[in-house]
Each structure stands twice: as structure tokens, then as C-alpha cells.
Chain A
Amino acid sequence: MAIKPLTSDRFDFDDATDAIEFYFKKGWTDGLPVVPPTPGKVAGFLNAAGRSPSEILCTEPTKGRVITAEKVAINAVMAGCLPEYFPVVAAAVEAMSEPEFNLHGITASTAGAAVLALVNGPIANELHLNSGVSLFGPGHRANATIGRALRLVIINGSGSVSGEIDKATIGHPGKYTWCIAEAEEVSPWDPLHVERGSPDDHSAVTVFAGLSPIQAAFHESGRPEEILTSFTNALFASGQEQEEVVIVICPEHMGYIRSSGWSKDDVRSFLFESTQRKVADWTGSGAFPGGPPQDPDVLYRVAKRPESFTLLVGGGAAGAFSSIIPLWGGGAGSRSVTKDISVHR
């Protein structure tokens, strides 16, 4: 397709090192060096996703920002993406633009949320997105650079610069980059995008406003009841009456749950019933910022309803370590959003 001209301001340098230093000086990075975004590379990214430079992918009304595909592509080049990753980045940015995701709130708040991007469907394997060993760790270009591209869009596109708009007290390292695929091949269940209405041969990306993950280790038994009970301490730490909380079940735990024939709903019901306790037992947990309710015997649950548990499968084959990911504002202030990834438009 014929690509329209790029309209961003241009800067000339003698070599890449000078350009990289210029981006540092301008405050246009996440604190790490960037790939210099040349017009040729940016045009290649837009072509790979069939996007016009002027197409609006995100609006952020609080700060009055309108983020075009051209700006997203520039940041994706800077993050180290390959052109074929750009359809995922573009769809994730569109997901972040949905009002229920509350992009301004989650990127300004002292609570310090990161954007966790989950990729489902055939594109995950095509791009070699990691769903396995060291799931949240380094060493996988597609994961590392797609997640980083979203952070650079937040910094440069939406203007949430650390210390200016981004007022996170501590935050967590997922704010540098946090993109995973779901290990659909080790799960007997529908993957998340299918659960949310996409055909299983489609690819989709879901964005979550993820707070720091809590690891749940349990090696003592293969009974689903005991494995899931071992998650409850981490779940109690994640908050009370949450609209949504994410659980990434590792393959070893999943293997036991799978061989016992438990469905997603079975797991959710069990967790829902086993994560309620009296106000008195929540005391000291920090779960009631405005002070605890008067009656110490009233029961409060971790989740509002069984469906509030979003169940994903991922991680390395060895080790019985799952992960609980609380969401910003208990999932009420920011809803996770799923978007189909259109590769050939």
C-alpha cells in the first residue's frame, strides 16, 4: 500500500550513538538506550500492520493526548521491536485507549501499576512469544520489546513521565516491560481470548493494569484442593472484594488440576468459597484504607464473584510456582480489555 508521509519532527545526527544520547537528554526513554527510529524503519512498521500514520490508536482525554499510529510505531522501533510485532503493539495501544482501562489513572497513581499484555492465539507462536520458562523474565525479544513499546508509548505518547505525571510510590519492575503469551498447549481450558468471545483461530491481546505479582509456591501435594488452598495466602494479600484478580497457574500445578478433571469454573468456585473471612481476620492487612467496617464478624471475600478470578496458564515446565497478580484498584478502577489483533487489513 502507498504510505502517507510521516509528520513527526526530524533530527539529524552523524551516528547512532549521538542519536541515542539525544533521546536520553530529551527524557524520551525508560532509562535504557533506544533504537534510533528512522523514517524508513517507522514506515516499515506501519506497513506491516496496514496502518496509516495518521490513524488514531489512542486518546487520553485527561491529559488531552491523541496518539497516532505513527507515534506508536516510532516508540515500537525505539523499543527494539521487529516490524511483524507491530500489529500486536497497535492492538494493545487500542486496548489501553478504552475508557474502562483508565489509562491516565493507572499511569499516574501512587499504586504504581504496570501494563501487563497477554497475547493469545496463533500469532504468539509465529512471533516466538514466550509462554514458558522464566515467564516474566528476560531473554525473549518479542516479549521484552512489545512490553517495552507499550511503556514508551505511555511515557512519550500519553506523557506519564516518572516524577511528573507518574507518581508511583514504588511500582514494580514490570513497568519496564511485561508481555507474555498464554501456554495454551498445556491447558485443557479455553484460552482467555476464546473465553472473552474471540474465535480460537484469531489472535488477541489483553491488557491488565497489573500490580506487583505474588508468587505462590506449593510442592507438597498434587490434590487440586490443596494446591488451590495454597494460593489463598497470596490472594488474601491481594485485597478484598476485588472485581478482577489474575492467577497465572504454572504447568506443574495445571497438570494436577487437569488430571483431576477440574474445569475453570470448578477452580473459580473453590477459590471463591475458600477466600472469605471475617473483618476481624482482615485486621492489619491494609485491605480497608478508610478503616475497617464496624462489625468484626461480617464476612468479606477476596473476589466479588467467582468470575472475578481470571485464570491463565503459563511458566516453565519444572517447578510448582504459580503467580497471583492483583490489579490496580482491585480491578474496579481499571478493567482489563481484550482486542483482536488484525494482521492483514
Chain B
Amino acid sequence: MATATRLQVLDPTVQPIPASAVIAPRPETLDGAVVGLLSNGKRNADVLLGMVHEVLADRFDFKDVMVRDKGNASRPCPTNLLQEMADQCDLVITSSGD
């Protein structure tokens, strides 16, 4: 007796490519550090960053603070801005507001 032909179908999904990034080394202390504050450009993101900065500034003596805004919350951060912050900051704090 002939076996009925089975229906073969294909997987329509695409799996994400695993991120190759690694976690940056943690600074020993924030005293003397250049800290970057990067807002995602949405409402209140700058308020939140300001509060975080205030709390940290009470505990650490920062060398400098770089404040930047990503501009468009729904687009990736411009590469040149990321590079500028990577070159000049010891750590960057980002916030997402709304």
C-alpha cells in the first residue's frame, strides 16, 4: 500500500544575529572621570539625566561633564556623536524619556 505524500513546509522566520559587543571594563572610581549624559531626545529624558547627574555629583568629583542629545528618539544615535563620546568620556549614561 502506498504511503500518502506528506506536506513539507518552510520556516518563515529570521533569527537575530548575536551581538558581538562586550561589556566595557568598569571604572574603579568616578572621581576625576569625564562623564557623558546622552538623552534620547524624548520629553523628560534630560530631566532624568539631570537628576542622575545630581546624585552622582554629590558622591564623586567629576573632571568634566559632556551633555548631548541624540536628536531623534526613534533613530539610532549618529555614529559621529557616539564616537565623540567614546573618545572623550570615561563613562556615558543614557536615558529614554517620554
Contact = CB atoms under 8 A, between A and B. Distances in A.
Contact of B7 (A38, A63, A156, A333): A38
A289 B97 CA distance: 13
B14 to A, nearest CB: 5
Contacts of B74: 102, 105, 109, 329, 333
A44 B72 CA distance: 42
A42 B14 CA distance: 16
A83 interface: no
Given A14-B4, A102-B75, A105-B74, A75 B16 contact: no
B24 interface: no
Contacts of B17: 64-66
Contacts of B8: 10-12, 38-39
Given A102-B74, A102-B75, A290-B43, A37 B9 contact: yes
B14 A65 contact: yes
Interface string A143-164: 0000000001000111100000
Interface string B43-58: 1000000000000000
Range, interface on chain A = 35 or more
Main secondary structure of the interface of B (DSSP, over half): loop
A19 to B, nearest CB: 5
B6 interface: yes
B7 A19 contact: yes
Contacts of B19: 64
A15 interface: yes
Contacts of A75: 12
Interface in B52-98: 72, 74-76
A78 B7 contact: no
Given A62-B76, A290-B43, A329-B74, A15 B13 contact: no
Nearest to B98: A110
Given A15-B7, A289-B43, A333-B75, A71 B16 contact: no
B28 interface: no
B17 to A, nearest CB: 4
Contacts of A37: 9-10, 12
Interface in A33-76: 36-39, 42, 61-68, 71, 74-75
A254 to B, nearest CB: 34
B12 A67 contact: no
The 5 A-B residue pairs with the shortest CB-CB distance in the complex, in nearest-first order: A105-B74, A9-B11, A64-B16, A156-B12, A64-B17
Given A64-B16, A159-B13, 4 more contacts: A12-B7, A75-B12, A102-B74, A157-B14
Interface of B: 4, 6-14, 16-19, 43, 72, 74-76
